[in-house]
Amino acid sequence: MTSGSEARALCFTPAYKLVEMIRSKKLSPVELMEAVLKRISEINPKLNAYLTLAEDGAVKSAREAEKALNTGAALGLLHGIPVSIKDLIMTRGLRTTQGSLIYKDFVPDKEGTMVQRLRSAGAIILGKTNTPEFGLCCCTENRLAGACYNPWNTERNSGGSSGGAAAGVAAGISPLAQGTDGGGSTRIPASWCGVYGLKASYGRVPKDVQPWGVSHVSCLDPMTRNVRDAALMLNVMAGPDGLDYTCIRTAPPDFLKAVDGRLEKLKIAWSPDLGYSVMVAPEVKAAVEAAVRIFAEMGYDVAEAAPDTGEPFDLWDVLLAAQYDLYLDSALDEHRDELMDYTRLALECARGLSGMEVARTWTQIERIRGMMRSFFEKYDLLMTPATAITAPPVGKRGRGRGRGFIDWDFIPFTSVFNLTGNPAASVPCGFSAEGLPIGLQIVGRLGDEVTVLRASAAFEEAQPWADKYPPVS
């Protein structure tokens, strides 16, 4: 049994190094699992990052992974590595609540391609991470289990909707985490918790196909403490799928190999506000400007510019409200008193929509997609703040724009890239005077996660962040 300090050091070891240690038999999968579970028992009560733990199954899988090392069996890319799954994603035989009282006892008998790929690669599922109800808020707070707290300051929120995933990675209680991003849900908590979150191009990672279809904006993503781990995880998750009809049909590049490639001369656009009428906290703006200067000092061509898309909040609200109403409409009548206020507002919004409003929304989205493609004919990357503020206090809500159920004042810069499908990452780039993390958003051309990853890795080398541990750890 490892000591507390040894468990801490092991849990903050990059996953790609853990893979090497396990393959060379310098580390036992059982020893790693025991260390992670020990840390979870000590730290999760302070964070509420997990809604469900799969402790017995995880230990059993770790023992099986250890046996496989001695049999000469082919080993997957993530053999023996613990990973958390966001509780919006179905996991066979493991409770999947979607952060809602309505599904508090739901245990699926099936799971999608992405989870199956992680298992096939040897990853071991630790449990399901906290999320706002149905992922419909930028702060992880729900009636099922309460808020997920930020490891840098437990009076602050971890962000949403992948708040539990980000908090777990930041605090060293999840070597790898899977998040989702339909309007910033990977990048927002990554920014507020000081970890790396990558939303790949839409369709890069296959999604579960529900009876009502698939979301046209949501992506399944890696959340990690460093760029290389995200590339490793994306190698496992990405690729064509016969079930998700919106998935990219061509084989993806080797993202891990791509991280080691050098960046060619880039033309980088940077914008402090994307031209929106929003207030960006001075500390956030200053940290992001300093980060962008690092790229200029590396020799890249940096200019202030942004695509003239207009504010996308109303478009996103209409699209998502209509999508959610396909499967949650009855919940508004049958479970109204169990729903969070933001869920009720979204479903009420959907009931008030006309077919003409939805049609106009899609017309505007296609216009924005065209404008974004034209913009990226001039520039290789676009950089912005990931969020307008650092992590807000638990329970604090921002002013709703659009249809009023999302706190867009806090998180104005992420959703437009869900509407257009562009890959985008949140990269830790500094701290506020209160010691709260700040994120730089790096956006690439459609299908070009490679340049986003390489730029992220170049910044990580110039200004490392993974050696900084939050106070709760």
Catalytic (active-site) positions: 86, 161, 185
What is the rounded distance in angstroms from the CA atom of residue 348 to the CA atom of residue 351? 5
Q: Are 281 and 410 in contact (CB under 8 A)?
A: no
Dihedral of CA atoms 198, 200, 202, 205 in degrees, nearest 10, equals -100
103 to 133, 322, 338: CA distances (angstroms): 10, 21, 11
Q: How far apart are CA 47 and CA 471, in angstroms?
A: 12
Burial class (CB in 10 A: 0-12, 13-18, 19+), 306: middle
Shortest CA distance to 88 belongs to which of 25, 3, 177, 197?
A: 177
CA dist 175 and 224 (Å) reads 7
DSSP tag of 172: T
Contacts of 206 (CB under 8 A, 6+ apart): 112, 113, 114, 220, 239, 240, 241, 243, 244, 247
Q: Token match 């309460």: residue? A: 146
Closest among 318, 324, 315 to 98, alpha carbons compared: 324
Side by side, which strands form the sheet with 50-53? 50-53, 124-129, 82-86, 176-181, 219-224, 196-199, 424-431, 437-444, 381-385, 267-270, 301-304
Q: Which of 392, 395, 396 is nearest to 436 (CA)?
A: 392
**Total residues belonging to the chain:** 473
